Structure 1
Amino acid sequence: MDTGQDRDTDIGYAWVALFAATFSNFITGMLIYSPGVFNTAILDEIENDLSRTSWIGSTLVGTITISGPVAGVFTSRFGCKAATCAGGILVLIGMSASSFIKSVKGLLLTNGVLTGLGAGLAVNAGGTIPGYYFKKRLPISFGVSTAGTAMGLFAGGPLVAILLQKFTLSGAFLIFGGIASNLCVAGALMRPRREAATEASVTRQPHDYKLVPVFVDGNKVQGDSKVISDHYGNREDDFDDHEKIQTKYSRNQFVTEGGENIQNESTVLHSETGNSNMPGRCLNFFRRNMSLITANGFLFYNLSLLFLGLGENAILFHLPNYAHSKNSTRLQSANLFTAIGLCSLLSRLVTGIISNDKDISIILLHVSFLGIAGILALLFPLFSHAYPLQMLFSALYGLYGGGLHSILSPMTVECVGVSHLAVGYGMTHLAIGIGYILGPPVASIIYESSKDYDHTYFFGGGCLMAASVCAAAVPVYRRSHGS
């Protein structure tokens, strides 16, 4: 039976939504991978203390990811369009304000927290909306959308280097903020599904119910729409042996399995048991979503992402300074990100296509990519003395490191399901965000104590290897728990 939900699934406006997600990720990709280039100018113009200035970039990237749970709840409540547009406004304000700041502490607030929070909203929406519009082509759609991040990496480094040369740090911040404000354009294209369908299971129990507004995919339903929902989020696992009524929501009617209409206004029958006051509802929401952590080895996957954030941000953030210390020019150092971005783009697209094959394990790809990227980082100090070899490392790291981000959303879906994608995606970004915040400062402390960038890459490579081990524990956990 053709439903309204199928009308835009994998076809039609789904491709417009995918373009919007890819464009949004392109802009956030430039923001995520540009702090290392900006940091060279901050060292020259504001403060020549690497251990202090590195906190600016790590706070930006860390806030983008660590704000994931908040962004996930915001996206789930208000929708992808509102989240992306709000993110674009915050990024514009943060980057514009940064152009007037001349202190590290001020940049921590404007360029770090404010810009990072806005980009975090956009990242969550861009990673969530393909899950609403695609089913058969879901892994490929995620691969294409995350390829936008790689394109941002490809363009961001050289663009920032050129802006810094022509307009200095203040002008570069201002122009970059104007470019990033195009997130609002991407958000305007992320319209909610015109017709949505959802399955709900409701027990016949002696509970009291009250009427509350309906939200489908984070958007309030208007008109004569109706849904029955229980306070456990429509999860059949939460009902033991109680009798269930199968129900179905469509835009114009709400019927039981027997075809009987239930109500005449846009409402939800919501159990008041244990939910009669706001603190109780908040506690129930927190308990329900935090239980996702232990689902299908999701905890080990998040630990893997934490180590990934530690290692990857330490490697990429210090790459321009490391290359410059090996007698490469500033522009050559920035161009290393072009090699990473180009190969990362190819990797994300190919990984998205490969992961669409049901016979290929997504977690196996994750473990393999992490292991190879870790080995590359550990070996990089041995062949970093020449610029062509630096380019080779950048290309190989982009090839194996880029694919990791292409399977982030499919792995989240595999662990927690599409219905919890927004919140689950936020949790993964919280984990990787902690690593992104701590990676550059820890690596800077290692450099300050040894005065040798080689040790920072030993640290980064070791973190990636630890991430590979944690990811390998996911299938072990699943087999032991029969998941």
Structure 2
Amino acid sequence: MAPAAAANLGYTPPDGGWGWAVVFGAFICIGFSYAFPKSLTIYFKAIQEYFSVSYSEIAWVSSIMLAAMYAGGPVSSILVNRYGSRPVVMLGGLMVGIAMVTASFGKSIMHIYLCNNAVPTGFGLAFNLQPALTIIGTYFHVKRPLANGLAMTGSPVFLSTLAPLNQFLLDSFGWRGSFLILGSFTLNCCVAGALMRPVHKQIKPKPNAEPPKSNGPAHEKAATEDTHAQSAGLLAEQEQSRSSRSQGCASKFVDWSLFRHRGFMIYLVGNVIMFFGFFAPVVFLAPYAKHQGIDEYSAAFLLSILALVDMFVRPGTGLIANTKWIRPRIQYFFSLAVAYNGVCHLLCPLVPGYVGLVLYAVFFGVAFGMVSSLLFEVLMDLVGAHRFSTAVGLCTIIECGPVLLGPPISGALVDIYGDYKYMYYACGVMMLVPGIFFLIMHYYNYKKLDEEERKRQSEAMRMRSGLSVRVEGEEEHVKMSQVDETADEADG
């Protein structure tokens, strides 16, 4: 199992400059990618009545879109690695715009599934999301948690704007006319993609292959220090060599060696469980409020409250995660955030009335913002920025299953029992269990990493000792040779 990776980028990230413009572009792309499927829940009631479908059937609209977005991760990874983030993001924005225009002419719910949510919109959102996340890792290292937190703030900002806007569009133009207008809005992703120019790489200077020629004790001391420095980096070079061999054995496009990475597997297993209950509470928040007799604008306002709280929590979480106390053990912070989500869902049915739903939206906004801000940062912390694009592609293709099935299963619970509380109980368990799993397994992972680090340090010390003895022997041999030469000259 591989240890936690360092930056290993081969250059020094600027940690600022044009990187903040890239963060702004990522802010727009991530905002559309995550907020767009959630904001479409405003149209669920109208589409449900228009096509006369059930709660579980209408839930597939967001579910298929999110699942297609996650399933498009590997394709997006391949395109990003081949062409870079800028053209992929611009292509994604164009695909989403065309898909929304096509969906506005839908004649059945199946047409909405296929034209609006499958390949066009889902893959288009994937082409917006993953390149935006990947390019941040190329521009930032020290300030990366803060940059990720600011970029992820795009989701609540856009959700707080799109939720009331969609209700206004629905009342003014109907769901068909609204889809046409939304299609034009998503073309702004093409503008955001234009900001994502490749990073100007400042290559780290390499040490000289041969030391400068000189004579005397100063030269011998420099040679000894250089030898010690070489021995200190020997283990790191061996680790990089093993990583290169692993990648050489992997596929041209997919790094299968990640499935032997301990931290990656912990992240993947926990996320598969978590995503069964991650999106459904947001998808059904407005319908749940309407089910309790709350008017449409007040129900839509709950999403705005959630988004407003989420908007401030994400950058705040990035600042906290970037502190010297949290960042070395950031996985614990993420584990607690996931468990806190589960507690919020379990308590939701216990607070009836609109005031109770407002309180739930506030606390859920805090929980959702914490998880969303850390979701990709903790993955980058585990595998390193240089393997992040492939890692997130593998995660999303596997996670698309629970993302696809989570909301429809939750909708089926509503259809069966005629009450939303069982859906919230199920989602709470699906979030609380992976939170506890993350907490336990990351404790084990950190313990193993500490043991491996101590082992590497002891091996390095042994190698240094052996090289020191060898250098001292060579120095003694040189001195004896000089004594012999002096004696021969004296005899002569």
Counterpart of 2:415 in structure 1: which amino acid?
Answer: E
Partner residue in 1 for 2:135: 129
> Are the aligned partners of 2:334 and 2:378 in contact in 1 as well (CA < 8 Å)?
no
Question: CA 1:198/1:431 → structure 2, altered by over 3 Å: closer, same or farther?
Answer: farther
Gaps of 5+ in 2: 1-8, 207-235, 453-492
- The 5 Å alignment of 1:50-449 reads 50-113=55-118, 114-195=120-201, 197=203, 237=239, 239=241, 283=251, 285-286=253-254, 289-360=255-326, 361-383=329-351, 385-449=352-416
1: distance between equivalents of 2:247 and 2:130? 31
Find the partner of 2:27 among 22, 26, 33: 22
Partner residue in 2 for 1:44: 49
Q: Which has the higher contact order (CA 8 A, sep 6+)?
A: 2
2: distance between equivalents of 1:29 and 1:413? 19
More strand by share: 1
More helix by share: 2
Per-residue Cα deviation, 1:277-310 (whole angstroms, up to 9, x for no partner): xxxx873543xx1221332421121222222221
Question: How big is the shift at 1:108?
Answer: 1.0
Question: CA 1:42/1:282 → structure 2, altered by over 3 Å: closer, same or farther?
Answer: farther
Per-residue Cα deviation, 1:152-211 (whole angstroms, up to 9, x for no partner): 2222221211111111110111111110111000001101123453799xxxxxxxxxxx
Counterpart of 1:349 in structure 2: which amino acid?
Answer: P
Per-residue Cα deviation, 1:355-402 (whole angstroms, up to 9, x for no partner): 11132121111111111111110111111x311211110111011111
Per-residue Cα deviation, 1:190-242 (whole angstroms, up to 9, x for no partner): 01123453799xxxxxxxxxxxxxxxxxxxxxxxxxxxxxxxxx98536369x
> Are the aligned partners of 1:66 and 1:429 in contact in 2 as well (CA < 8 Å)?
yes
> Are the aligned partners of 1:305 and 1:431 in contact in 2 as well (CA < 8 Å)?
no
> Are the aligned partners of 2:38 and 2:62 in contact in 1 as well (CA < 8 Å)?
no
> Are the aligned partners of 2:89 and 2:127 in contact in 1 as well (CA < 8 Å)?
yes
Between 1:431-440 and 1:87-96, the stretch displaced more is 431-440
Counterpart of 2:15 in structure 1: which amino acid?
Answer: D
Identical-pair percentage: 25
Question: CA 1:106/1:142 → structure 2, altered by over 3 Å: closer, same or farther?
Answer: same
TM-score between the two structures when normalised by the length of structure 2? 0.78
1: distance between equivalents of 2:382 and 2:153? 22
Question: How big is the shift at 1:47?
Answer: 2.8
> Are the aligned partners of 1:33 and 1:156 in contact in 2 as well (CA < 8 Å)?
no
Question: CA 1:306/1:156 → structure 2, altered by over 3 Å: closer, same or farther?
Answer: farther
TM-score between the two structures when normalised by the length of structure 1? 0.79
Partner residue in 2 for 1:262: none
1: distance between equivalents of 2:365 and 2:238? 42
Larger radius of gyration: 2
2: distance between equivalents of 1:74 and 1:357? 34
Gaps of 5+ in 1: 201-233, 242-269, 276-280
Question: CA 1:198/1:161 → structure 2, altered by over 3 Å: closer, same or farther?
Answer: farther
After superposition, the CA RMSD in angstroms is 2.7
**Alignment: residue pair count:** 411
2: distance between equivalents of 1:322 and 1:310? 18
> Are the aligned partners of 1:30 and 1:155 in contact in 2 as well (CA < 8 Å)?
no
Question: CA 1:121/1:274 → structure 2, altered by over 3 Å: closer, same or farther?
Answer: closer
Counterpart of 2:331 in structure 1: which amino acid?
Answer: I
